[in-house]
Structure 1
Amino acid sequence: MIGSINKISGSKLLVGIVLSILTYWLFAQSFLNIGPKIQETFGVSPEIVNISVSLTSFVTGVFMVVAGNVSDRFGKVKMTRIALILSIIGSLMLIVSGNVVLLLLGRVVQGFSAAIIMPATISIVNDFFDGDERQKSLSFWSIGAFGGTGLSSFFAGAMATFISWQSIFILSILLSLIALFLLKNLPESKRFDKQSSRFDYVGLTIFVIMIASISFVITQGYKLGWLSSPTLILSVIFVICIYAFYKVEKVKKIPFIDLKLFKNKSFVGAVVANCLLNTGVGVIALFNMYAQAGLAFSAFQAGLLTLPYLITLLLVVRLGEKSIKRFGAKRAMVIGPIVTAAGILLFSLTFFNTSIYVVVALTGAMFFGGGTGLFATPALSTAVSTTPAEKVGVASGIFKMGSTLGGAFGIAIMTSIFTGLTQSGQSVDAAASTGFIVGVCLVIGGVFTSACLIPTRKMKQVEKEQVAEVE
């Protein structure tokens, strides 16, 4: 709780946490917009650049739940410090030489760092803050994550253009060092379990194979072909692993993931709705493709058109937080995706001429960001507050893994629809419109998930009942 923090104020703790998560959402994610600069520096093929871009997110998604489980057992503060050191090492590997092997290894190390940081920092917030302070802290966590994502493309482009792409990661190292300093006197929040040494390595192995296979299908299936042999084989492996994981974990006394978590309707609803809302990342990717291919805008101009998304999101996040106390989480988790879907629908109106479409798109970006901001804190709060304290790390890992897989799925589906339709002879306008409408349908799925699974009662009532049920 906030009173138990020794020699560090709540505000310093929050700054340290936000700086920690920015190492992924702002800095590591900047690779999405500096591919050509990377290719020029390292003299490698576009395929290698594409691998380096996606590698960090892939590793993060695969190992996030694993890292959350380890944090629950061995200490969240300790794991956060380790993650920050890994972030520094990964950044150094990117900038100290022009060696492509170090480039790829650096991106892997950054992925491990992010996988640890996200569930560990959410757990720290849950352990050290109570009541309204916890909701406020989770809002700042969301601001760091969503704000970093929204700013990363513009930030990376500006840094790479006016200074150098390496300066991005020099700044990341400096902020990681500041975060380590701010967290240096933070006491360990973990209540150690005498049985924590009995780790479920079988469950861990099956889970990693399961998530790795589905992650590869989601991120690469549209390139290899959804009915290609590798895609089908990995899909079968995924299904087999689900069955094996259920059978193994069901009989374990200390399972890798306690399956009772999934009896918690609020937690499941938050995870699924969050996954579906995060498919909206594909909307940003598709909009950038359409703005450049269909409207003849530069990458910089396309990025400027999405800035209202970031600004509105940051303004609305605290509104979502405050709505929990007054109305409960469900209302914001239903209304938020509806507003987001309305924004995506405006993006789909590609039949307008360019000048009118720009106005419509700017309005759509505001709705898109506002809905996402309204949803962010209630969803995260629901996932954390309805989970027993000793399982918050793994629960946070599952929640954020849903974000990662949802974003990857959204990008894969929407961009493959756009590419496929344009290659089949459809106009760029029609192809983009179809992709956006698919995005609307995915986000509306989040509306129905929240409406059906999230209890209507206020969060404080839900917390007691859900925690008792899981325990």
Structure 2
Amino acid sequence: MAQKTKQQEAFKPGTQLIAAIILSILTYWLFAQSFLNIAPHVQKDYHIDMSVVNIAVSLTSLFTGIFIVVAGGLADKLGRVKMTRIGIYLGILGSISVIVSGIPALLILGRVLQGLSAACLMPATIALINQFYEGEERQKALSYWSFGSYGGTGVASFFAGLVATFFGWKWIFVLSIILSIVALYLFRNVPESKEPGAKNIKFDVVGIAIFLVMMLSINVVTTQGTRMGWTNPITLTLDAIFVISIFVFYFFEKQKHQPFIDFSVFSNKTYIGTVSANFLLNTVIGTLALFNIYAQAGLGFSGLKAGFVTITYLIGSLAMIRVGERYLQRKGPRFPMMAGPISIAIGIAIISLVFLPDVVYIITSVIGFLFVGLGLGFFATPVLDTALSSVPSEKVGVASGIIKMSSTLGAAFGIAILTTVYSSMVANHSPESAATTAFIVGAVIMLCAFLASFVTIPKGKMEKK
């Protein structure tokens, strides 16, 4: 572990730092993500075409996915507290841009700023937890981080509907600004944390530029491929750019004395397995997206009614986060990282029983989403702690960025894969057959996540590098 400064040694983080971190990440997981559920309200106020609103919806996740590793690397070099504050400021500016006027350009700018804010906040806050908490206290802090992320995104749709209905959708972002200011106040006495010798490190501008091209191409493909068409010339061109940029980036960075991404991070089999398992497990978001599509198209549900069926996903995940943490403390991460995907696979298999009578299917789906939530919650803290334990402390920012980028890309790929399977089949088969096949594909991916953990995660407790 990196040596602490006198200020860091004297600092007692306690609950104040945890509260500050939770409030800061809620600006994305709860408030920025609420935008997905208020699109009609936004369209009405802005008097714009729905296609523009849909662009605004997707921009935040797109910019988060593109810049999160860059921001994690900058956090290691410039300072994790500094990057956290920058993230909060960007979130405040993004919220102001969204609500201050009816100008579409400011709406788009606001959503971009919210994406950049999340990219700064996620790796920097995880790195701060790694810096100021050790052992079981770090694992507990990571559980609270998971509460803020999984809990925030799970409540987002209901929160958005409630505020938009009774107060107006702009109040969502007014509340985000207020909580962001509170978070800044709570961060006021937190000492800086960054990689020793950071002043002497030069920024790898070319490496960052190549990486951004690589991430932009794959993010556009995964988020827009279904809409544009997978054989569309633009999609195929972006695929080619992504593949070429991988090779260019790798060979360019290997020759750099101070590369943007130190590939020694990937020399650890456990870290590679953790990133792979996390990527595969987060494709489960595709199951939630597909269920909402099928429930509304095949069962005639409203979006709200479909959301109520999936509420057990939230309940299960929140209930199991601390359980996963305690098991991690006693026996290590291997069993939770294997059992989580198996539980999710069972849940998806139950949800795939679309041939059952409607009432019975709703009941089984509620049970299925409970299994999905239980598995996700059990997996959450062990995967974060294992990622942090597998890399040196001075590289934890970029490593955190990579692990969270794998979450973002996993979710995007999950949505792309399952919805593509469903839409390609539904033209020639019944919605029931198409949905069942797509759900089974999702369950198979979970089994791949199990295998990744089984092969790479060691038995017993892990010691921090």
The normalised TM-score by structure 1 is 0.95
Q: 1:43 aligns to what?
A: 47
Quote the residue 2:445 is aligned against: 442
RMSD: 1.5
Quick one: which of 353, 365, 368 aligns to 1:364? 368
Find the aligned partners of 1:384 and 1:103 in 2 and give their Cα distance: 36
Q: Which one of the candidate residues 365, 368, 374 is aligned to 2:378?
A: 374
Cα pair 1:74 1:192 within 8 Å, conserved: no
Contact 1:218–1:408 (CA under 8 A) maintained in structure 2: yes
- Give per-residue Cα distances to partners, 1:368-424, cap 9 Å, x unaligned: 0000000011001111111111100000000000000110111111122222322x1
C-alpha distance in structure 1 between counterparts of 2:12 and 2:42, whole Å = 39
> Match for residue 110 of structure 1?
114
Aligned partner of 1:248 in structure 2 is: 252
Cα pair distance change 1:181/1:8, threshold 3 Å: farther
Q: 2:162 aligns with which of 149, 158, 173?
A: 158
Contact 1:154–1:304 (CA under 8 A) maintained in structure 2: no
Q: Deviation at 1:312? A: 1.2
Letter in 1 for 2:433: A
Q: Report the equivalent of 1:400.
A: 404
Shift of 1:37: 1.2
- 5 Å-filtered alignment, 1:159-308, equals 159-193=163-197, 196-308=200-312
What is the identity, as a one-letter code, of the residue corresponding to 1:164?
G
Alignment partner, residue 128 of structure 2: 124
CA distance in 2, matches of 1:7, 1:226: 52
1:69 corresponds to 2:87: no
Question: 2:461 pairs with 431, 450, 458, which one?
Answer: 458
Name stretches of at least 5 consecutive residues in structure 2 with no aligned partner: none
The residue identity in structure 2 corresponding to 1:211 is M
Which amino acid in the other structure matches residue 448 of structure 1? L
Q: Distance in 2 between matches of 1:159 and 1:53?
A: 18
Deviation at 1:189, TM superposition (A): 1.8
SS, match of residue 403 in structure 2 = helix
Q: Distance in 2 between matches of 1:261 and 1:68?
A: 13
1:18 to 22, 28, 40: 22
1:201-224 CA-to-partner distances (Å, cap 9, x unmatched) read 111111111111111111111222
Q: Match for 1:404: what amino acid?
A: T
Q: CA deviation at 1:4?
A: 3.8
Q: Which residue of 2 aligns with 1:315?
A: 319
Report the equivalent of 2:430: 427
Secondary structure of 1:367's aligned partner: helix
Could you say what secondary structure the match of 2:171 adopts? Answer: helix
* DSSP 3-state at the match of 1:164: coil
SS in 2 for 1:185: coil
1:129-186 deviations in Å (ceiling 9; x for gaps): 0110000000111111111111111211222122211111111111111111111111
The percent of aligned pairs where both chains have the same amino acid is 51
- In 2 relative to 1, CA 163–420 (structure 1 residues): closer, same or farther, beyond 3 Å? farther
1:258-317 C-alpha deviation (Å, 9 max, x unpaired)? 011111111111111111111111111111111212222211111111111111111100
In the aligned structure 1, how far is the partner of 2:432 from the partner of 2:198? 61
Structure 1 counterpart of 2:340, which letter?
A: G
Greater shift after overlay, 179-188 or 30-39? Answer: 30-39
- What is the alpha-carbon distance in structure 1 between the residues aligned to residue 138 and residue 41 of structure 2? 41
Q: Counterparts of 2:195 and 2:227 in 1: how far apart (Å)? A: 46
Q: Quick check: 2:13–2:132 contact (8 Å CA) kept in 1?
A: no
Contact 1:319 1:374 in 2 (8 A): yes
Q: Name the SS of the counterpart of 1:141 in structure 2.
A: helix
Q: Counterpart amino acid of 1:458? A: K
Among candidates 22, 30, 33, match of residue 29 of structure 1: 33
Aligned to 2:98: 94
TM-superposed deviation, 1:197? 3.7
Give 2:64's aligned residue: 60
Instruction: Tell me how many residue pairs correspond in the alignment.
Output: 461
* Amino acid paired to 2:347: G
Query: Which secondary structure state, in structure 2, belongs to the residue aligned with residue 98 of structure 1?
Result: coil
Structure 1: 5+ residue stretches without partners: none
2:150 aligned residue: 146
Q: Partners of 1:18 and 1:452 in 2: how far apart? A: 33
Paired letter, 1:257:
I
Structure 1 196/138 Cα, relative in aligned 2: closer, same or farther at 3 Å? farther
Q: 2:140 aligns with which of 125, 136, 151?
A: 136
The farther-off stretch of 443-452 and 187-196 is 187-196
Distance in 1, matches of 2:109 and 2:317, equals 34
Distance 1:124 1:194, change over 3 A: closer
Give the aligned residue type for 1:457: G
One-letter amino acid matched to 1:437: I
- Report the residue type matching 2:172 in the other structure: I
Q: Is the 8 A contact 2:196 2:394 kept in 1?
A: no
Instruction: Tell me the alpha carbon deviations over residues 240-274 of structure 1, each in whole angstroms, 9 at most, x when there is no partner.
Output: 11111111111111110001111111111111111
Q: How many angstroms apart in 1 are the aligned matches of 2:385 and 2:200?
A: 26
Q: Is the 8 A contact 1:383 1:395 kept in 2?
A: yes
Match in the other structure for 2:89: 85
2:236 is matched by which residue type in structure 1? L
Over 4 Å off, 4+ runs: 5-9
